[in-house]
A and B are shown apart, each in its own frame.
Chain A
Amino acid sequence: MIDRRRLATAGLTLAVAFGTGYLMQNGGSVAARLAGPAEKANPSVSAPAEEAVDEVKAALPELPADIAVPDLGTGRSIIHTRRLAALDSGFQAPVLSDASTPTPFEIACKPVLTANPAPGAMIDVQLTTPCNGNSRITVQHGPLSFADVTDSDGNYSVSVPALQKEAKVDVTFEGGDRISTKALVLTVDGYNRSVLVWDGQPGLHVRAFEFGADYGDAGEVWAGAPRSPEHGVQALGGFLTQLGNPDVLNPELAEVYSFPADRMTKDGVVRMIVEAAVTDQTCGKVVVGNTIEVGADGQMREVALELAMPDCDTAGGFLVLKNLLQDMKIARN
């Protein structure tokens, strides 16, 4: 009930703005952010803002029938909703996935999510959401979750390491709307996986040292030397997948190290390290996230994590954690 009233308030604010023509004519900062640069105006991506307005209209009992739908379209709806949120703390981003409502340009708004198995026990995720261009989305695969942004056409694709054979993938939009799909990833059993999910503080990394490798050696796998799933497919060693976008609002990031444990021809160990740079931005703060480990037995171990960064007088160093993720014991097959 409260939500609805807040939505109505937000809508009313907008309607007044539309009615006076203030929004489009005034060069003030709010309107400028809402309108965006003219050269980016693109009919096919104008929909999100339009959708939002439709929803807002629905929440208002009486809206003048002759009101012209303004073209707010800029393909920057993420900024748009963010600005609205800033205008009204109670603002709820509108629900954008009403399948029956076409955009003014007759493109169905219904988002389409597909997931297909890919080499390296990966899931190729494809999202098409024409009415949610440049929107923040959260992608979830069980306890593995991260935030990213769709492109200006509302498309998004990502390759996610599967943690389970029957892999469910959810995408959540800003308003809380969610769509799900599934993929069957038969090669999951062949891979050990170690995952760090965190709230987007910069400077955190997972590092894997394969078979006695040291910093800088070829056997060190991390964001600076991630390799590709092909490396795993060919049983040459592990690979790292970085997920999430550090530039979105409230970033959620993840790093996944995958190792093809079932096809190794030597015994040994992969040492797992989580490294956190202690900077002026991160010192004294608490990193919130979770760790996930999938062993050769297919058992998943997931734990919530709060990592207390060292005090600011130690800024400039690194916090190296050798026991947050278990070392992977590799037995020859």
Chain B
Amino acid sequence: MLACRTAFWAVLLFLLQSVTVVAQDVTLTSRDGSVTISGALVGYDGEFYRVDSTYGVLTVDGSGVVCSGPACPDLTAYIAEIRIFGEAQITQRLMPVLIETFAERQGYSALRRVTDDGNFTYALIETASGRESSRFIVRTKSSDEAFADLVAEEADMALSLREVATNEVMAGLEAGIGRLDAHNQSRVLALDAIVPVVAPENPVRGVSLADLSKIVTAELTNWQDLGGVEAPIFLQMPAPGSALATVVAQRLAGNAVLAVQESQRHDPLADLVDIVAKDPFSLGITTLSELGGTRPLPLVDNCGYISTAIADAVKAEDYPLTTPLFLYVPQRRLPAVGRDFLRFTRSPAAQFAIRRAGFVDQALTETPIKNQGNRLSNAIRAAGPGDLGVLQDMMTALDGFNRLSISFRFDGGSAVYDGQSRSNVGLLAQAIEAGLYDGRTLIFVGFSDGEGAADANRKLSMMRANAVRDDLIKQAATADLSRTRLDVLGYGASMPMACDDTDWGRGINRRVEVWVR
């Protein structure tokens, strides 16, 4: 550390000899007075100064310098500030519970300073001294704005309902905040799902994804087409421009414009579900976290598979319309309390808080094979003559194992997985590093969709299982892998969870499950 700093100062010293320093709002002077840096103070996190100097943004260890100038922070009264900006659902519903739980766990008392629903700050106060030690500043903004603020260094965390876009990653790279899509800068905080809902007394019991797509694009407009009465469907949708509307358009309408009258667009979702609950002719598109008094419609397909938006199905991505809540951080070092908070978001206490706020958590849980009866009977029912032998093999191999609550989903014909799955690798890697699976065996079991020959599918499923295991080993860098056995198996299309006649059905079937003993 010392050597490193000395080298740094040496380089600076060299630079300083040729450059006249323009007086700016802070000047950092080394203890021996030999080196100074001036510039605009970008930040101080209690340990490090960040100064936008003529050499670019420099991070300087505060212990080695004296600060002078009008913008110098008061070191004794330093209060760490973490600015968290993003979507209303996450900032207003999840963040309060999460920050309060974090404060409690860290032994602080929390004081919530409220301006309005979308703008509030939590002060974390040391219980013994009454001193305010840090602040979490929370602002409700669109995902677009939150990413822009992150790039402009006006936010420390961005909360989004969508993954960061390529142009935003590029802007971030240019601004020097790192790669926002890298696994150490993005994470899934919690899970939610898009859910079609109706009034409790509505007689319709299910809807196919294909029909749902037609409903949101106004191609299907009568309840009769869903097995109901002859009456128009009043579609109640999230407000246009909201993150959810964008995600719904992506997932259900192939980004087509959603054809809904203004009177049937709602913000917040609470208004939407209140209307649907009272109107038997309404069909609403809402989230699992905001069902109100409505009844969720299960998704059905042509093969008779039923997918219901329940927590377990969302966690395992067996439900096709899951929507992760993403958290992004810049590459720069956050104040210690910010780093602690990020670590906390993965803890069991945080998972409990997430459930309490009405979202689906990511705690790793195990389900015994005997509770998988529904899936097995589905598989046996759908099995061709060659499949039964494979199923038998599988049952023998997995005898005594439990299925882990997370799984991994892939793009068609490839071993590239989606956002939630990428985050799942991180979660599992962390659990293995923490020794949660010491002395146990994990089997990564790959499956494919039914497109293509059985042999190729088996190979493909094996390849996916291997890809997940390899990625896991890479990410669990500090794990002692001699303590946990990691096996792979591949069973092709033998245990489908959905019909292969649609894209989403094939997407559900292309997966790697994790079994543990």
Q: Which residues of A does B touch, CB under 8 Å?
A: 211-212, 266-269, 271, 291, 295, 299, 301, 303-308, 319, 321-324, 326-327, 329
In Å, the complex CA distance between A321 and B114 comes to 9
Q: Mark B271-291, 1 if CB is under 8 A from A, else 0.
A: 001100110000000000001
Residues of B within 8 A of A295 (CB): 356
B278-A212 in contact (CB<8A): yes
A306-B292 in contact (CB<8A): no
- Partner among A212, A303, A307, A308 whose Cβ is within 8 Å of the Cβ of B110: A303
Chain B nearest CB: distance from A304 CB in Å? 4
Residues of A within 8 A of B295 (CB): 267
Contact of A321 with B116 at beta-carbon distance under 8 Å, contacts A267-B200, A268-B277, A295-B356 already known: yes
Q: How many residues of B contact A (CB 8 A)?
A: 28
Residues of A within 8 A of B268 (CB): 322
B110-A304 in contact (CB<8A): yes
Q: Mark B428-466, 1 if CB is under 8 A from A, else 0.
A: 000000000000000000000000000000000000000
Contact of A305 with B274 at beta-carbon distance under 8 Å, contacts A211-B293, A267-B200, A323-B93 already known: no
What are 18 A-B residue pairs whose CB atoms fall within 8 Å in the complex?
A: A212-B277, A212-B293, A266-B293, A267-B200, A269-B292, A271-B270, A301-B100, A303-B111, A304-B109, A304-B110, A305-B111, A305-B112, A307-B114, A322-B117, A323-B92, A324-B114, A327-B270, A329-B358
Contact of A306 with B112 at beta-carbon distance under 8 Å, contacts A267-B200, A267-B293, A268-B277 already known: yes
**The 7 A-B residue pairs with the shortest CB-CB distance in the complex, in nearest-first order:** A268-B293, A212-B274, A304-B111, A323-B92, A306-B113, A269-B292, A323-B117
User: Residue B482 at the A interface, CB < 8 A?
Assistant: no
User: Residue B115 at the A interface, CB < 8 A?
Assistant: yes
Chain B nearest CB: distance from A264 CB in Å? 11
Residues of B within 8 A of A308 (CB): 113-115
Contact of A269 with B92 at beta-carbon distance under 8 Å, contacts A212-B277, A212-B278, A303-B110 already known: no
In Å, the complex CA distance between A269 and B292 comes to 5
Residues of A within 8 A of B357 (CB): 326
Central interface residue in B268, B273, B293, by most chain A CB within 10 Å: B293
Residue ID in chain B nearest A308 by CB atoms: B115
Chain A nearest CB: distance from B512 CB in Å? 34
Within B213-272, the residues touching A (CB, 8 Å) are 268, 270
In Å, the complex CA distance between A266 and B278 comes to 13
Central interface residue in A212, A304, A319, by most chain B CB within 10 Å: A212
Residues of B within 8 A of A329 (CB): 358
In Å, the complex CA distance between A321 and B93 comes to 13
Residue ID in chain B nearest A297 by CB atoms: B356
In Å, the complex CA distance between A306 and B113 comes to 5
In Å, the complex CA distance between A268 and B273 comes to 10
Residues of A within 8 A of B496 (CB): none
Residue ID in chain A nearest B356 by CB atoms: A295
A303-B112 in contact (CB<8A): yes
User: Residue B96 at the A interface, CB < 8 A?
Assistant: yes
Within B79-121, the residues touching A (CB, 8 Å) are 92-93, 96-97, 100, 109-117
In Å, the complex CA distance between A211 and B115 comes to 28
Chain B nearest CB: distance from A195 CB in Å? 14
In Å, the complex CA distance between A321 and B113 comes to 13
A303-B100 in contact (CB<8A): yes
Contact of A321 with B109 at beta-carbon distance under 8 Å, contacts A211-B293, A212-B293, A271-B270 already known: no
Residues of A within 8 A of B274 (CB): 212, 271
Residues of A within 8 A of B293 (CB): 211-212, 266-269
In Å, the complex CA distance between A308 and B109 comes to 20
In Å, the complex CA distance between A306 and B97 comes to 17
In Å, the complex CA distance between A307 and B120 comes to 9
Residues of B within 8 A of A266 (CB): 200, 293
Central interface residue in B273, B291, B292, B358, by most chain A CB within 10 Å: B292
In Å, the complex CA distance between A49 and B92 comes to 52
In Å, the complex CA distance between A269 and B289 comes to 12
In Å, the complex CA distance between A299 and B353 comes to 11
Chain B nearest CB: distance from A265 CB in Å? 12
In Å, the complex CA distance between A240 and B97 comes to 24
A321-B117 in contact (CB<8A): yes
Residues of A within 8 A of B109 (CB): 304
B114-A305 in contact (CB<8A): yes
In Å, the complex CA distance between A301 and B93 comes to 14
